[in-house]
Amino acid sequence: MTGARRRLLETLREKGIRDLSVLRAFEMTPRHAFVPTGVRHRAYEDSSLPIGSGQTISQPSIHARYLEILAFKGGERVLEIGTGSGYQTVLLSHLVAQVFTIERIPALYTMAREAIQRAGAKNVSMLLGDGTVGWREYSPYDAILVSAGGPSVPQPLVDQLADGGRMLVPVGGHEEQILKLVTKRGGQVETTDVAPVRFVPLYGTHGWEQQ
């Protein structure tokens, strides 16, 4: 492990990340392999970086917060909306049994697929399409992670949560959102606010309309 990756782990600990399995996933996943060469020297900073097609890779502390909140046990089936660079996908692959991930932008889908394969993740299935409608074929999911902000919680994703399942989804405007934790129990759906966040817009049938 490089000194830069070690420093990132220290930063995550300083920001309050305590889950050892989450820290281990960061230790095992080379973030520089998921960012364009032009910003590779900044790969282990705790900052979001451009990855092309108007999209960004989130800052590592946001990924870590997502993963820590969901407190994975290891046997989960998880759906990720917005593959992006594939970095969070590979972090998830170290923490759960199966990862299903959807990306709507063809160029990012291709780039992420190659990066995920290079990282050696064997428990990842990818789909090119509209993440706001989910991936019904493999539902229900124990957890759903939405990596873009929409005007509301997409109903198809709520429908595809398992009983006891949890979803993290940013909801709000184009510029700022509130990260919401949606929990499904016995047919009841509870939503709690976690924190203010800033994500790229969630486009799709149950998100923002593409201009």
pLDDT given at position 1: 57
Burial state string for 28-50 with b = 16 or more CB within 10 A and e = fewer than 16: ebbbbbbbeeeeeeebbbeebbe
Residue in this structure with the two tokens 């994500």, named with its chain if needed: 199
Q: Is 93 a catalytic residue?
A: no
Instruction: Identify residue 3 by its one-letter amino acid code.
Output: G
pLDDT given at position 23: 97
pLDDT along the chain (211 residues), means of 10: 88 96 96 95 95 93 96 97 98 98 97 97 98 98 97 97 98 95 95 95 94 67
Catalytic residue among 53, 58, 93, 147: 58
**What residue spans of 60-145 are helical by DSSP H?**
60-70, 87-93, 106-118
Bridge partners (DSSP) of residue 49 are: 57
Q: What are phi and psi of 74, to 5 degrees?
A: 120, -20
Q: CA-CA distances (angstroms) from residue 16 to 13, 43, 44, 178?
A: 5, 20, 17, 20
Bridge partners (DSSP) of residue 180 are: 169, 193
Give yes or no for a contact between 130 and 113, defined as CB atoms under 8 angstroms apart.
no
Q: Read off the pTM.
A: 0.96
Q: State the Cα–Cα distance between residues 98 and 69, nearest whole angstrom.
A: 18
Q: All domains of the chain, ordered by start, with CATH?
A: 3-197 (3.40.50.150)
